[in-house]
Amino acid sequence: MRMLVIGGGGREHAIVWALKKSEKVKELFCAPGNAGIAQLAECVPIAVSEFDELVRFAKDASIDLVFVGPDDPLADGIVDAFEAAGIPAFGPNKKAAAIEGSKIFMKDLLKKYNIPTAKYETFTDYESALSYLREQSAPIVIKADGLAAGKGVTVAATMEEAEKALREAMVDKVFGEAGNQIVIEEFLEGQEMSILAFVDGETVKPMVPAQDHKPIFDGDKGPNTGGMGTYTPLPHIDPAIIEEAIQNIVIPTAKAMVSEGRPFRGVLFAGLMITKDGPKTIEFNARMGDPETQVVLPRLKTELVDIVLAAMNGRLADMDIEWSDEAAVCVVLASEGYPASYPKGRVITGLAEAEAQGALVFHAGTAMKDGQFATAGGRVLGIVGLGADIAEARGRAYEAASVVQFEGKQNRSDIAAKALL
């Protein structure tokens, strides 16, 4: 098979790495890719938003199957564009991708089908939103309706912080059109958990659960990012709770999408909070998480391409997907200043040494500069350690992360620490 992966981050590097392991995949392309992905696949300099050019390339290159990584093109209908051209693409179509593309659609869907989530109200008018907000108490959550690169959610500890977040989204337009509508939501207390699942209509095949770390600083302090690290399994969370989340949230949501005439095919990602009242939905994503993918796929024993083909051909229900018992911990190395503005072009050293230690190194924001790897994004690298348990995997991840250097490097030092308490 000749496959094309859409995207250029750490998630896509992990997807390319997993697909490359199969003998069924004879040629692999990635658009636009990055410097790390270029070691495994032929990178094509086409942006994820350039649908016409991507379709043209796929036709010219006789691509058999496309795997779409990021959220924006899915919400904008990239799968529809490929399918209209007769090219199979793995991912939800535009109607189904609304589960991530609009937080209001998602919340209303959950409410209609009695799927556990936080209480909320939605607003299109700033003054109305502000008036409602002032009747609430902190902590409280402010969410831009549309996609905002993982940064459109503010968990406000004070009312001043909440009013600032509301003003930035609706008046200052820091997230552009994504902030035209907002959700004001009750704050949920508890442990976060991510469950990714391969989905084809009402067929749901859960992956191993993972836990992300969104805030930039240790102790979950500071502004939210796209994710500073993740780990799997979750030894401190009762397996019965995980099963409850699958049965009460993930499966009913897939069925609800079918009932709404928006059958979902691809990877459905549930961001959950385990509260004193059981698991509740924080968000749904319409694709693999980043950086959850970087720890989940290394534990996948079944070939990824076989699962994708089964979902595309209506055979996912017949798949028996196998996972290793290993633990995996990913530490994200980020640029100075991230998640605000950050410099680019800083030379990266120590990558070969990290890999020689047995770590997996997934490139998120890198480019080649004068024959050397250099920073080209906010999140630069995901360093993944594997081990018999979380402690061993964590030790290996941090040991490898310590040998990778670039000016201004920042990373959290407490990834997966919750699992060791």
Dist. CA 158–CA 223, nearest whole Å = 14
Cis upstream peptide for 233 (omega within 30°) = yes
pLDDT tens digits along 101-127: 999 999 999 999 999 999 999 999 999
Architecture of domain 327-420: Alpha-Beta Complex (3.90)
Question: Which sequence spans correspond to the domains of the chain?
Answer: 2-91, 125-180, 191-318, 327-420
| pLDDT beyond 80 at 373 | yes
Residue 148: per-residue pLDDT: 75
Write the DSSP assignment of 114-182 as a string of letters. Answer: T--B--EEEES-HHHHHHHHTTS-SSEEEEESS--TT--EEEESSHHHHHHHHHHHHTS-TTGGGGSSE
Return mean pLDDT, the chain: 95
CA 338 to chain centre: 18
Residue 56: per-residue pLDDT: 98
Residue 178: per-residue pLDDT: 81
Residue 191: per-residue pLDDT: 85
Residue 150: per-residue pLDDT: 65
Average pLDDT of span 87-95: 98
Which CATH number does the domain 191-318 belong to among 3.30.230.10, 3.30.470.20, 3.90.550.10, 3.40.50.11890?
A: 3.30.470.20
Residue 179: per-residue pLDDT: 86
pLDDT tens digits along 299-333: 999 999 999 999 999 999 999 999 999 999 999 99
- Read off the tokens for 88: 């199979």
Average pLDDT of span 342-351: 98
Tell which residue, 256, 117, 123, 283, has the closest CA to residue 199. Answer: 256
Contact between residue 92 and residue 105 where contact means Cβ atoms under 8 Å apart: no
Residue 147: per-residue pLDDT: 81
Across-strand partners of 231? Answer: 211, 329
Q: Do β-strands 265-275 and 278-285 pair in parallel, antiparallel, or remain unpaired? A: antiparallel
Residue 224: per-residue pLDDT: 84
Residue 241: per-residue pLDDT: 94
| 152-189 as b/e: b if 16+ CB within 10 A | bbbbbeeeebbbebbebbbeeebbeebbebbbbbbebe
pLDDT tens digits along 34-60: 999 999 999 999 999 999 999 999 999
Amino acid at site 419: A
Residue 8: per-residue pLDDT: 97
pTM for this entry: 0.93
Q: Which fold has domain 125-180?
A: Dna Ligase; domain 1 (3.30.1490)
Distances from the Cα of 167 to the Cα of 61, 268, 274, 404, 420, angstroms? 47, 31, 30, 39, 39
Dist. CA 280–CA 158, nearest whole Å = 23
DSSP character at residue 25: -
Residue 223: per-residue pLDDT: 87
Residue 116: per-residue pLDDT: 96
pLDDT tens digits along 139-166: 999 999 888 766 788 889 999 999 999 9
Q: Which fold has domain 2-91?
A: Rossmann fold (3.40.50)
CA 98 to chain centre: 15
Residue 329: per-residue pLDDT: 98
